[in-house]
Amino acid sequence: MMQRYRVKEQVRIDFKDPITGEKVYNIYETPSKSGGLLSKQSIQDASIGLGVNGNHSNDAVIVRQFHLWGRKNKVDTGTIHDAFFTNLGEAVPAKSALRQIYADALKEGTIHKTLKAMRASGMSRATYNKYLQRAKNDGLIDPPNKITSKELLETIREGNDWYGIGP
């Protein structure tokens, strides 16, 4: 077995959240542009959620919506990675909110919307089509036997409970 290490750069992304008005920043690590094999391709894969962090990209949307729900409803919320926390007295409404947030995320089509926004920002049609096809091939868009929003919001059967699902 052999592993190759490449020089990595850390890039800071700054933007203003359109809902809260707060300044937000994030830092991501990417292979150096002079690193050859992985350079710009890795950045594109990560930015549309097709790379290693594809699931984390979707989780970030859900985490943000949970915090916005808490702010709107005056409920203190906390998250660590994709674990959700609130005061025990708020657990039942928070769980209901999370079920709705997951259901909404299924309807929204995060990756498809991201690709459309990148296309509108100048991504070539050929690149757009390539990534769209890859997302479909990877089962990230329209997978067979996918869970539906309706199924997520069904009444929980007696003796069962609900736990958040992955992609």
Q: What is the mean pLDDT of each run of 10 residues along the chain (167 residues)?
A: 48 80 76 52 51 58 89 92 83 89 81 82 89 85 82 83 53
**134 within some domain:** yes
**98 within some domain:** yes
Shared domain for 24 and 61, answered yes or no, is no
Q: What are phi and psi of 116, to 5 degrees?
A: -60, -40
The pLDDT value recorded for residue 43 is 46
The pLDDT value recorded for residue 55 is 55
The pLDDT value recorded for residue 58 is 65
The pLDDT value recorded for residue 32 is 61
Cβ–Cβ under 8 Å, residues 130 and 85? no
Shared domain for 104 and 27, answered yes or no, is no
Q: Strand 8-16 and strand 77-80: pairing?
A: unpaired
The pLDDT value recorded for residue 69 is 96
Q: What are phi and psi of 137, to 5 degrees?
A: -60, -35
Query: How far is it, in rounded angstroms, from Cα 121 to Cα 101?
Result: 27
Q: What is the DSSP string of 83-102?
A: EEEE-GGGHHHHHHHHHHHH
Query: How far is it, in rounded angstroms, from Cα 86 to Cα 64?
Result: 14
Shared domain for 94 and 66, answered yes or no, is yes
The pLDDT value recorded for residue 56 is 58
The pLDDT value recorded for residue 155 is 87
**140 within some domain:** yes
The pLDDT value recorded for residue 27 is 72
The pLDDT value recorded for residue 71 is 95
Specify the number of domains making up the chain. 2
In terms of residue numbers, what domain contains 24?
Answer: 7-38
Shared domain for 62 and 132, answered yes or no, is yes
